[in-house]
Structure 1
Amino acid sequence: MKALRLSPSSRRHERSAGSAGSSLFSLNHQLCLELDLCVHSPPPSPQPLTDVSMIVTLKALPLTDSCACQRIGQWLGHHDSAKECSTCDLEEEISELSAPTSLLVVRGALGKGDFEAAMQLAATLLQAGADPDETDPEGRTLLSHSVQHLDDSAALTRLLLNSGASVWHRGGTGVPDHSPFTWLLRALILRRRFENCDLTLEMLARVMGERPAQMKAHVLRVMFRHARCPKVLGPIFKRIKEVVSVYWTNAPSLQYSCLSAIRRRLAGRTAHGVPLLGLPPSLKRSLLMQDLF
Structure 2
Amino acid sequence: MKRTGRRWEWGLGALGVLLAFAVCEVVSRAGIVRRAYLPPASEVLGRAVELAGDGLFLQYVAETLRAWALGLGLACAIAVPLGLLFGSVPVVDAAVRAIVEFLRPLPSVALIPLVSLLLGSGTETKVALITYASVWPILFNTVYGLGETDPLAKETLRAFGFGRLSVLLRVELPGTAPFIAAGIRISAAVALVLAVATEILAGFGEGLGIFIAQASLATDGTRDVLAGVVWAGALGLVINGVLVWGERRLFPWTPAHRGDGVTE
TM-score by length of 1: 0.23
TM-score (norm 2): 0.24
Structure with greater contact order relative to length (CA < 8 Å, sep ≥ 6): 2
